[in-house]
Structure 1
Amino acid sequence: MSRFRVVRAVPLAPVEAWRLLTDWPAHGRQVPLTRTTVLTSGPGRAGTRFTARTGIGRLGFDDPMEVVRWEPPLGDRPGVCRLEKRGRVVRGWALIEVAPEGAGARVVWTEELTVRGVPRLFDGVLARAGRVVFGRALDGLLNPRPSNGLSH
């Protein structure tokens, strides 16, 4: 299994950082060639299921996930969300932690995964790629730009 961690300090209240990080469809907008579909209704909670589909047309794979731990931040208490990845191609887990830090929040995304068909020899490469992809995704999620319909 490949494990990686991405850490960010952001000038957002922990509750706001949590809201942005647990907007599952927004994750698909941050990861190239990916679309996220939430399969359950209602607000985020343990039991929420969603699938990230990565690829072009029929060439791609699904990454189905389920929220198995949902503890939003409250006051000084950090928030913790654990996702279980249960796909045929990608398996493992992700842990999202949001804690108060100074005037903002500290976000830690830890993920451990295996990708079917990728030998363990490549775990280091997979971890480095995960840090880059998820680092960019976190930056995009935590720094949303207002959508005004104009391109710059």
Structure 2
Amino acid sequence: IDFFFTTCPTICTPMSINMSKVSEALSSHEDFRTVSITIDPDHDQPAVLKEYAAKYHANDHWQFLVGDKEATYKLSREGFNAYVGESDDEAIRFEHSGNFALVDRDGYIRSRKVRIDKDNENWIYHYSGVQENDIPAQLNEIIEDAETLLNK
């Protein structure tokens, strides 16, 4: 799952390219879905989302959703601990996390431990959906973890 908007001038393009790669890599699993939820429901109506999906060659496993703005923001912030908000910068209009979340069949967000150094491990709860602040997109990790869940 990711949160995006179709008129985003910054990270949404690389995020959508990467989500397309994840969706394609896992398309052989009938019960796998990628889900992109817009944070701009006033503009991103179903016809706009359909056009956006075609632009990124979305397959049948990639769903684009639009809903009530307050409910979407609450879902992002409280359900996924992912920042979304309106920007004071008119050129940007919205701000949001560049992360992807992996959700299992039971609706739980899944994560993995990563080694920070030889003595310490850390949990990552989200996967970087775009290279940001010298952190590369974690496409291989989310694909591997999704395959693990799908093969259970």
TM-score, normalising length: structure 2: 0.30
Bigger fraction of residues in strand: 1
Q: Compare the two structures and name the one with the higher helix fraction.
A: 2
**Higher relative contact order at CA 8 Å, sep ≥6: structure 1 or structure 2?**
1
